[in-house]
Structure formats: structure tokens, C-alpha cells
Amino acid sequence: MVGAIGNRPYQHERKMSVKILCMRELPGWVVERAREMTPEVEFVSRAAAEADSGLLGQVEASFDYPPPEWLARMPALRWAHSPGGAGVGAHLTPEVLAHPAVYIAAHIHAEPIAEHLFAMLLYFTRRLPVARRLQAEHHWGGCGPLDTLTGKTLGLLGVGAIGRRAAELGAAFGMRVLGMRRTGAPAPYIARMFTPEEKAEMLPLCDVLMLTLPLTPRTRGFLGPAEFALLKPGALLFNTGRGKTVDTSALLAALESGRLAGAGLDVTDPEPLPPGHPLWDAPNTLITPHTSGSQPETMRIVGELFLANLRHYLAGEELEGVVDKEEGY
């Protein structure tokens, strides 16, 4: 069966047995169901692999990505399954790019991250921190000018699964939704799609900007001083993609000057954000510690996708959620 790794082919045949490296512990129910598929599945813990490097040469699958320096000793590795998000650019080291293994990303975070983006947006437009302060003071008073989303223009930088769900929510709030994606291909709920080469045309149109970009060589520093200068005065910015897609110094300058009315950041550069960093105290800034993708069902969804791919692999079928190593997602 032939599939693809980025633009390169891979091939495997129907199998009855497989040795799986567990870089992190698999839930018991996943292990039980895997053994129901084939009794000849063997799970190798990280500790066992570190103690006996000969095991690495027999591993065909890995739950969570193995360290890049291990790959030279893993010629049999055919696929590695991430329990995290869609963007894996930070993992694509030269060793990973050179290895023929397929990398799988679990695209499971669209709903919680899209909801998180709009929770942060409403935090600002409905002035919830002011209301909470007045409540703490036991004071019944006005919160100041409140805003609505209806009629505002929402710009989405990145229209993958998360961006598509954010577009749907934005349209439900009565917002005009613009999008940006590498291909420029249209998507539902998006009035106009731009390419990255057209960002100078798109940015001045946006009242609200949401970033869900993966980190790739093309997206690193995607918003810098020139881009912040193009934004509408009083725009709001939200980032749940990767911190390094935004120039932190330029972001701070835009917040401190008031050009940005506020920023909601689930990701930062650096990350974790160290104590004493000026972003902590930047005006009108809400920071969450890279938790926007959290949901109660995460491990169940990840486990089901892992089992689906194990079933595909044993049957010699194409795998689900294969990362394009050239694009990083």
C-alpha cells in the first residue's frame, strides 16, 4: 500500500504483529483494544528503550514522537503518532525530515480552541474584567462602553480546522469573516480569502484578528512592526497558534501605544513566559498558559485515532492525519 510523506511515497504491507514504542503511557483501554486487534502487538516503554537500545531497531510505531537523535537507530519506524495538535513544525528537525517515517497529528482541538478564541474576544468587548472588579468592590455601576460583535470584520490568519470553526462562530455572531490561507482556496462562512502575499491588503480591514498559524519557516515572525502598523487603530488580536508567529517586541509596542485595544494570548514567545516578562503587565492583555485546546475528551479522541491508525497499518491501508513534512502541519 502506497501513501505519502509530504511529497515522498512510503510503502508497507498487511501485518499481523507490530512493536510500538510508548514515549508516554497509553491508557489501559487503548492497550486492551490494540491487543484485541492482534495478540502479537508489543508495547515498549520509553524506559525500556533507554535501557536496551536494541529495541529501537525493532519499533515500527511510536505513540508520541521519539527524540530526533533516536531516529538513526530506528530504521523500522513507519509512523509516529502525536497526542497533541495539528501543527508540528517545531518537531520537524533535519533528522525527522530525512527519516521515512510518517508523522501523524491529531486534529482534535478545533472546537475548544475556537471557543477559547471567542471567550477571550467577549472578555474584551463586554468588559468582563471591569464587571468582575466592580463585583469585588460590591459596587453597582456601569462598566463603561460595551461593544458587540455584529457588523465587525473578523480576520482569520490560518484557515485549517480551527480557523474553519472560528469562521462559523464569527458568522453566527453576525461578523464579516475574512480568511488567509496559503492556497487562497475558498472556505464556508468566509466572505473573502487572501493569500499570505496579500496580507498588506487584508490587515487594515480587520477589527479583530485571530491567529491559528502553525510555526513554519514562512510563518515565523509573520506579524512584525510593519504588519502592526497596518492594523486598524483599536483592533483586537488573539493568538492560539504559535507564539513565534508574532514579533513580541512589536506586539508590546502596539499594546503600549494603544494601537491595539487588546490582545488575548494563549501562546507567547518565549514560552513558557518567564516571571518578570513585560507581557505579563502589558495593558489590556489576557494570557492563558497554552490551554486553549484542553477538553475532557482529549485522551479518548487521541486514543481512538491511534487505534484507527493501528487498524489501518495492520491492514496495509493509508493512515489518517498524516503531516506534510514540508508544510509542518
CB neighbour class for 47 (10 Å; exposed up to 12, middle 13-18, buried from 19)? exposed
Q: Domain residues for 22?
A: 2-108+297-314
Distance CA(295)–CA(318), nearest Å, equals 28
Closest CA to 63 of 306, 250, 260: 306
Can you name the residues that pair with 52 across neighbouring β-strands? none
Q: Are residues 202 and 241 in the same domain?
A: yes
The reply to whether 139 and 277 lie within a common domain is yes
What are residue 179's DSSP bridge partners? 156, 193
pLDDT tens across 242-294, in order?
A: 999 999 999 999 999 999 999 999 999 999 999 999 999 999 999 999 999 98
149 in the same domain as 68: no
What CATH number did the domain enclosing 60 receive? 3.40.50.720
pLDDT of res. 194: 98
- Tell me, yes or no, whether 322 lies in a domain: no
In a domain, 327, yes or no: no
Tens digits of per-residue pLDDT, 119-140?
A: 999 999 999 999 999 999 999 9
Residue 79 and residue 30 share a domain: yes
Average confidence (pLDDT) over 11-31? 83
Find out whether 126 and 149 touch, Cβ atoms under 8 Å. no
pLDDT tier for residue 118 given thresholds of 50, 70 and 90 = very high
Q: Quote the pLDDT of residue 298.
A: 83
pLDDT range class, residue 10, cuts 50, 70, 90: very low
Structure confidence by residue, pLDDT tens digits, 136-159: 999 998 999 999 999 999 999 999
Query: CA-to-CA distance for 86 and 161, rounded, in angstroms?
Result: 9
The number of folded domains in the chain is: 2
Q: What is the pLDDT of residue 178?
A: 98
| Residues 102 and 118 grouped into a single domain | no
Please report the pLDDT score of residue 301 as a whole number.
87
CB of 311 closer than 8 Å to CB of 300 = no
- Give the start-end residues of each E strand in the chain: 2-5, 8-11, 18-22, 41-45, 61-63, 79-81, 102-104, 153-157, 176-180, 192-194, 208-211, 235-239, 260-265, 285-287
pLDDT attached to residue 84: 65
Q: Are residues 151 and 205 in the same domain?
A: yes
164 and 303 share one domain: no
Residue 47 lies in a domain: yes
d(CA 294, CA 108): 10
Q: Which positions are catalytic?
A: 242, 271, 290
In a domain, 216, yes or no: yes
**Who has greater pLDDT, 295 or 47?**
47
Asked if residue 11 is part of any domain, the answer here is yes
> Are residues 16 and 78 located together in one domain of the fold?
yes
Domain annotation covers residue 324: no
Supply the pTM of this predicted model: 0.82
Same domain, residue pair 275 and 162: yes
**Whether residue 163 is found in the same domain as residue 307:** no
Separation between Cα atoms, residue 167 and residue 163, nearest integer Å? 6
Q: Are residues 146 and 264 in the same domain?
A: yes
- Same domain flag for 187 and 261: yes
For residue range 154-185, list pLDDT tens digits in order. 999 999 889 999 999 999 999 999 999 999 99
| Residue reference for cell 498487511 | 14
Tell me the C-alpha distance between 124 and 261, whole Å.
9
For residue 325, tell me if it sits in a domain. no
E strands in 186-329: 192-194, 208-211, 235-239, 260-265, 285-287
In a domain, 328, yes or no: no
